[in-house]
Structure 1
Amino acid sequence: MDKWLLFYFRKFQEHKLDEKKALYRALMAECKGSVCPTLRNTLPFGVAYHHSGLMVGERRLLEEAFVSGTICCICCTSTLAAGVNLPAKRVILRSPYVGREFVTMSRYKQMVGRAGRAGMGSSLGESILVCKSTDIDKVRELVHSSMDQCVSSLVHRDASGMRSLLLSAIGQGVATSLAELHQLVKRTLLSVQATRLGVDIKALVDSTLLGLFREGALRVRNQQADVSVCLSGDVSQTNKKLRLHRDTPLSVSRLGRAAIKGINLREQVLSPRLSTSVSTLTQYERDLCVPGCMDLKKARLLYEDLLQAQASLVLLTCLHLLYLVTPYELVDQIRPSPSVYFNSYNELGVQDQQCARVLGITEVCMVRIVKGHTHRGVPERVIKRFYLTLMLSELWQQESVWKVSVKYHVTRGFVQNLMSSSAAFAACVMRFCEELEEFWAFKDLLVNFSQRLSHCCTQELLPLMELPAVKRGRAQQLYNAGFKTLKDIANTDVNTLVSCVDHISRKVAGQIIAAARIFWDIQISWFIGFFIFPYARRGQAGSGHARPCWVYTTVTDPAPRSPRNYKSLLLLEKVESLREEAQEVLEGISVIPE
């Protein structure tokens, strides 16, 4: 028996040996010279694991290796089966539970649907569900049950969806009175399911509007005293009493406008990442994909933090700015290690420690943290957020994700989640500051933070990392192989790219080249529109003189009067069509409805 096992183990090791070595080198490049010990031991046998603790680049490499057959068995959590198009011959579920909850029919079908995908080279597939004898009746009932019904999410999470809907509707002028808001909500899925869910639509809308007034997001239009701008107080606690009639015109306050504008980041932040699967996006980024507004409680916190920074901003280093763009959503997900916190604080320079003192984190505070005592005078959210900022600061200084995860005792996936969420939140803060004039300085200071934080790499790699399936490790490989610009990649062919980059399939190489050609065509078109034909002459009414006019500002000009202007308009129309074609050319793009 042992001899047969040894024989098959050797067979597994010899299967696609060169491809496994290339995969190992690619993982080494992605993690800057480090590979997980578990993967180091299992990859020779064609076995790997896949979960949120891995970086996006690592997950991408393992997915490509599984599709190409380099890896024959992959152990994963339910997130891989739910969001990634990986065809398999056989799917084995080790338990009918996801966490503590019994699996639903929709999730079960989604997971076992990986087996035997039509058109993916495996016409017949198998699914195996391992369960205890006590769960057999539940499994039998599950198999014969119907699909889950779609339920409105407007009432979930303390009706945050309803708050977002009402605030956005008022801000965009869709519904600006109590009667119009009631009519709007009657046209939602929640109205159809109100009886079954036991929801009083009218009471929900009224209570949500009251909460928006109390939080300072709404005001009565043309009201002389805007009580909602007073962020530190509560409207209900003031001497003013607001009585709303059905036709009372409502408008959004400055805070509400800033919250709405701060979340409109789909095109600015997520467009480069929407070429990947939705499952690779962080929860914060998934929220950005849904039209809505920033949570008003976090808007208040952000406003207070910006006010404090306005009075004592430390610009000797980037640490204070990094603190301002550290997302609030991750504060509850981290539990600082006292010893690591203390050591990291002592490693800070004099200038960085000055930033910490402005936030209230001093040597005395650090000693109390190490001893496990309660913090006096410093909110716990500030302490946890500054701990995340220390991690972010090391990434900003080009430290590898692997070393940061080991130092702070967190997974690599969490570190990368922090990096991408901070990039999205940086753009959110910048848009927030654009709406509030008192924070004009922060808008200029945070201009380049989003792009830099999204990758935390050197400047020359940033253009390459906008391509699909290209993360830091692969971007470095492309750069070292001589592909330093999008033009270099656009002018190459699939065979050359496959031979120069470790562990890259012909399909992925074709996607990268196609994307580079599209991006390069867009750049060329904009270059022609801006510089080759910078002026278009058109006659002024009532005179025989001509005046210069910038052609790129009149894309929808109804009557271009010059051949040059007309040609420029055609070029700009081509740019728009190229952007639409990008979604069809690249395979594997997940479309998120707006």
Structure 2
Amino acid sequence: MADKSRLGVWHTTTLQSARQQQHQQTYYTTSLAGHKRAYDASSSQNSDRNGAPRRRAPPQPLPFRSGLSSNTANNEPPRLTASQIEYADGSAARQLPSEYSQRQDFAATPTSTIDPLLSLSHPAYSLPRQLVANFAASGIRTIYPWQKQCLRGPGLLDGEKNLVYSAPTGGGKSLVADVLMLKQVLEDRDAKAILVLPYVALVQEKVRWLRNIVSGISREELGQNEQDDRPKFWAPRADKDTIRVVGFFGGSKIRATWADFDIAVCTIEKANSLVNAAIEDCSISKLRAVVLDECHMIDDGYRGYLLELMATKLMCLGQPLQIIGMSATLTNIELLKNWLQGHSYETHYRPVPIEEHLVYDGKVYAAGTTASLLKTVTQLDTRSQFSQPRLQPLRIIKSSDHKELTDPVRNAVVALANETVRAGYGVLVFSSSRAGCESDAVLISRVLPTFAEADPSIQEKRSDLLGDLRSLSTGLDPKLEQTIPFGVSFHHAGLTTEERELVAKAYDQGVLKVCVATCSLAAGINLPARRVILHGARMGRDLVGPAMLRQMRGRAGRKGKDEVGETYLCCRQTDLEAVVDLMHADLPEISSCLISDKRRIQRALLEIIAIRLATSRESLDDYVSKTMLAYSAEPDSIQENVEASIADLQKMEFVTVDGYGSFQATLLGKAIVASSLDPEDGIFIHNELKKALQAFVMDGDMHVLYNFTPVHDLGGVMVNWKVFWNEMQQLDDSGLRVIHFLGLKPVVVDNMLHGGTLRETTPAEKENARRYHRFYLALQLRDLCNEVPIHRVAQKYDMPRGSVQTLAQTCQGFAAGMIKFCETMGWGAMAAALDHFSDRLKAGARSDLLALAKITFVKSRTARIFWDNGLKTVAAVANADPKELLPILMQAQPNKVKLGAKDEQKFTDKLLAKAKIIADSANRLWQIEMQQELVDEE
């Protein structure tokens, strides 16, 4: 026992915590999810006087409890028993602290009673009382010492200096940017701020967070009621007293303008377009703060380079403006500091330490530092036959007798997940593919306690979750129906947005204990866990990069919920060397990618000319000198690329030069910038729309919808040529004219159906292939616009329903760009036709339902059922009693299942609440219609 006790010297493992609960009949614990603990909350009960975790004896394995719930389907796969995980004989070498775990060697974080500057209410930060109270309500009562040091950097709190900083995932880096941004917005009644995030899910999550943080803050009160030493922020503003937070992302139904927000939370593309529009109409002077989250993406040539374009434009303005860049994976922070001419700060502090492990051949090894990794890989070399006595695994995962778990990697993933859940903690599993996610989720669910063994309150919440998923327009996914009763779910792009949100919320609240996700989840949404398990280190067939690996490992450990985070990277023999190299690889240094592809520097130059930020050669050179490119490339190479790009822009007729040497964007150049297109894509779109002006097929949907399909990133479109052929055979005369007009040939589709190849070697062949891909997507849009449910479209075209929904949302954003393109070119009739179909695409309905589809919760199928029941106008719905809407909503449910009396009543209550929201929404829309009619009469 003495030897084994030394294995737990650094932290309390999952099983060690669970041993204290062995007297209980069940190992489900009360979830703390959703209840953040204060930053200064200590865990002294688990620490010695120096702040280090106490030693504990290792636990015994928890007993497996079998059994099936009474409502388990008869065809459910048989239950499995997870492999036992035992401590190895002898003692393991004392593990050195990793870069994330330095907290173990230091005393606990000081509280605000020791250091008053750790309180956001300190006068040094000059924050309104209500804002401080809102932060406290969200669990942030004090800040970390590193946050204090960073905020108090030279000129930062006054907004006089830019900032770029790096902190680990989970280290609290967002709070620094939030405080600086909110200060700028609060200190000027007309101030605007932009927060840039890379993914739509992060934008939506951040909008909700910020709206809660600024809730109840009245500008009028800030101007009149502050009686302390803080500055008087402003006088009352007539139109709005609240701080307005608006999200901008592709497919967003919000058509907000620059005047409609105080804080804009945007995707990269939307932020760049917003800045372009504001510079062009001279409203950019109100912008006071711009936050660039995940700024390491700046060297992503696909979309991240837009961050460099946008930030450089802002630095050319010469107005008071604070740019704040942050990332968890920055290595050459000095480059960004020099580029932004600001202050830099770097920390490796993480409030919840992470213990890292490598799992190979059923053995768990410590893998916390580069030194131990190098030693481990040397001693794991198969040629050594593990002969070196110094290396000892920390634990051993027994092999399984079940054929489903014969693979040692899969067996390790299931065993580690089972161990975590039975100790009452949450676990996040990363898998390499969507199919892998679902397979892992099913296997893990088969070893966990059954539905009947769960706590009654958890049973009820899981039943509610199943009901919520079942009531979605797509119905309940069969695999989720199988796994959720056991507290397991999966999360990938194949699910719809609504499904992912419900799953993420349930996991965050502790209703679900296991979430199996693809690697993209690591950066796309904030779902931490006590234990993170990596089923290999691949994304598809390729190994993930060091930055992505750090993102995944960084999800381990929840502040306020866990004392420690644990990561387990499970790999097989063929990947061992590559995985170990990856685990100790340095993060790549970022650099500008503007000249790695000529389209990027072309777009940069075209944008600044079109918005008239630079019109002379001197101003163009000044712009280029302020790019990050100027700090990371040779001047001669930069000059050569700029000269070539200007010549190309003139050759493509995007830019002209007058007799005085001034550059001007042509109408086409302005249209390309307005629609956020790359120059080469703009040429293709211009040619397609010019042909459409000559012969636009208006007696059907296909030609319009074809022009809604994006021109970028179509290489990943998997065309089912059999479906393509069948749909072509069923086209009406209008659709056949569109095919003929576009130059698509049935013989080519037939050839592809029988194993042919669509050549893409020459520019002409690439454009031709692009048309086939776009038309295939247009067929899906046609079905969506004609009220075919997403899941039916997904089945028909052999695509995940989440991908179909993403296609619709992407096309909505692209359609908005096409409308701007036509408006800028002066093609008003074409713009009007596209705008009408854009509304249909958003509603997923025919023209007669567009008014009803504006009502909250009333989309496509529900709108049609309302129409069929005589509620054909917004006024009719507004004047209906919610109880009258209840039976109609019952008809709109996608799945009719037999429920028990209790569940039936709960389901009815939920629908009645939904009916009330629908009636209220219809009333608001009706009042707007009535007011508009009065205005028109006047």
1:298–1:127: structure 2 CA closer, same or farther, 3 Å change rule? same
34, 56, 60: which one aligns with 2:497: 56
Aligned to 2:895: none
**Rounded Cα–Cα distance in structure 2 between residues aligned with 1:9 and 1:178:** 68
Aligned to 1:447: 835
**Rounded Cα–Cα distance in structure 1 between residues aligned with 2:512 and 2:864:** 24
Query: Which protein has the bigger strand share?
Result: 2
1:127–1:199: structure 2 CA closer, same or farther, 3 Å change rule? farther
How far does the alpha carbon of each residue in 1:109-144 deviate from its partner, in whole angstroms, 9 at most, with x for none? 32222222324x445332222234676676666666
**Rounded Cα–Cα distance in structure 2 between residues aligned with 1:520 and 1:93:** 50
Contact 2:819–2:834 (8 Å) recurs in 1: yes
60, 73, 76: which one aligns with 2:514: 73
Q: Which amino acid counterpart does residue 459 of structure 1 have in structure 2?
A: L
**Rounded Cα–Cα distance in structure 2 between residues aligned with 1:368 and 1:146:** 48
How far does the alpha carbon of each residue in 1:228-283 deviate from its partner, in whole angstroms, 9 at most, with x for none? xxxxxxxxxxxxxxxxxxx72111112111101112xxxxxxxxxxxxxxxxxxxx
**How do 1:95-494 and structure 2 match up within 5 A?**
95-99=536-540, 102-119=543-560, 121-132=561-572, 148-156=588-596, 158-195=597-634, 200-221=637-658, 248-263=661-676, 294-361=677-744, 366-372=749-755, 379-437=768-826, 439-457=827-845, 458-459=849-850, 462-464=853-855
Q: Which amino acid counterpart does residue 6 of structure 1 have in structure 2?
A: G
Q: Which amino acid counterpart does residue 153 of structure 1 have in structure 2?
A: C
Q: Which amino acid counterpart does residue 841 of structure 2 have in structure 1?
A: L
Q: Where does the alignment leave 5 or more consecutive residues of structure 1 unmatched? A: 223-246, 264-293, 493-498, 536-594
23, 31, 36: which one aligns with 2:465: 23
Aligned to 1:6: 67
1:9–1:188: structure 2 CA closer, same or farther, 3 Å change rule? closer
Q: Secondary structure at the match of 1:6?
A: coil
Question: Which stretch has the larger CA shift, 427-436 or 106-115?
Answer: 106-115
The number of residues matched between the two structures is: 457
1:113–1:526: structure 2 CA closer, same or farther, 3 Å change rule? farther
Contact 1:319–1:352 (8 Å) recurs in 2: yes
Q: Secondary structure at the match of 1:448?
A: helix
Shift of residue 58 of structure 1?
1.6
**Rounded Cα–Cα distance in structure 1 between residues aligned with 2:731 and 2:936:** 52
Contact 1:63–1:86 (8 Å) recurs in 2: yes
Question: Which stretch has the larger CA shift, 144-153 or 180-189?
Answer: 144-153
Contact 1:219–1:253 (8 Å) recurs in 2: yes
Name the TM-score, length of structure 1 as normaliser: 0.65
Root mean square deviation, CA, Å: 4.5
Q: Which amino acid counterpart does residue 25 of structure 1 have in structure 2?
A: G
1:301–1:478: structure 2 CA closer, same or farther, 3 Å change rule? same
Name the TM-score, length of structure 2 as normaliser: 0.43
1:411–1:424: structure 2 CA closer, same or farther, 3 Å change rule? same
1:522–1:330: structure 2 CA closer, same or farther, 3 Å change rule? same
**Rounded Cα–Cα distance in structure 2 between residues aligned with 1:338 and 1:206:** 44
1:343–1:147: structure 2 CA closer, same or farther, 3 Å change rule? closer
Shift of residue 44 of structure 1?
2.3
**Rounded Cα–Cα distance in structure 1 between residues aligned with 2:906 and 2:837:** 30
Contact 1:57–1:471 (8 Å) recurs in 2: no
Contact 1:257–1:435 (8 Å) recurs in 2: yes
**Rounded Cα–Cα distance in structure 1 between residues aligned with 2:861 and 2:472:** 4
How far does the alpha carbon of each residue in 1:519-563 deviate from its partner, in whole angstroms, 9 at most, with x for none? 99999899989979999xxxxxxxxxxxxxxxxxxxxxxxxxxxx
1:88–1:374: structure 2 CA closer, same or farther, 3 Å change rule? closer
**Rounded Cα–Cα distance in structure 2 between residues aligned with 1:471 and 1:137:** 52
Shift of residue 430 of structure 1?
1.0
Query: Which protein has the bigger helix share?
Result: 1
Q: Secondary structure at the match of 2:471?
A: helix
Q: Secondary structure at the match of 1:30?
A: coil
Contact 2:708–2:815 (8 Å) recurs in 1: yes
**How do 1:31-50 and structure 2 match up within 5 A?**
31-33=473-475, 35-50=476-491
Shift of residue 214 of structure 1?
2.1
Q: Secondary structure at the match of 2:773?
A: helix
**Rounded Cα–Cα distance in structure 2 between residues aligned with 1:478 and 1:112:** 48
Shift of residue 174 of structure 1?
1.6
How far does the alpha carbon of each residue in 1:21-74 deviate from its partner, in whole angstroms, 9 at most, with x for none? 3323332332444x3332232222222211112221221121122122222111
**Rounded Cα–Cα distance in structure 2 between residues aligned with 1:6 and 1:403:** 36
Contact 1:424–1:450 (8 Å) recurs in 2: no
**Rounded Cα–Cα distance in structure 2 between residues aligned with 1:304 and 1:55:** 34
Shift of residue 101 of structure 1?
5.2
Contact 1:326–1:389 (8 Å) recurs in 2: yes
Contact 2:602–2:679 (8 Å) recurs in 1: no
How far does the alpha carbon of each residue in 1:470-515 deviate from its partner, in whole angstroms, 9 at most, with x for none? 99899999999x9x98999xxx9xxxxxx9996999xxx99x99xx
Q: Which amino acid counterpart does residue 131 of structure 1 have in structure 2?
A: C
Contact 2:704–2:837 (8 Å) recurs in 1: no
**Rounded Cα–Cα distance in structure 2 between residues aligned with 1:414 and 1:80:** 15
Q: Which amino acid counterpart does residue 67 of structure 2 have in structure 1?
A: L
Q: Secondary structure at the match of 1:85?
A: coil
Contact 2:610–2:665 (8 Å) recurs in 1: yes
Q: Where does the alignment leave 5 or more consecutive residues of structure 2 unmatched? A: 1-61, 69-446, 883-903
Question: Which stretch has the larger CA shift, 100-109 or 322-331?
Answer: 100-109
Question: Which stretch has the larger CA shift, 298-307 or 249-258?
Answer: 298-307
**Rounded Cα–Cα distance in structure 2 between residues aligned with 1:127 and 1:471:** 42
1:464–1:58: structure 2 CA closer, same or farther, 3 Å change rule? farther
Aligned to 1:560: none
Q: Secondary structure at the match of 1:107?
A: helix
Percent identity, please. Answer: 28
1:297–1:21: structure 2 CA closer, same or farther, 3 Å change rule? same
Aligned to 1:266: none
Q: Secondary structure at the match of 1:331?
A: coil
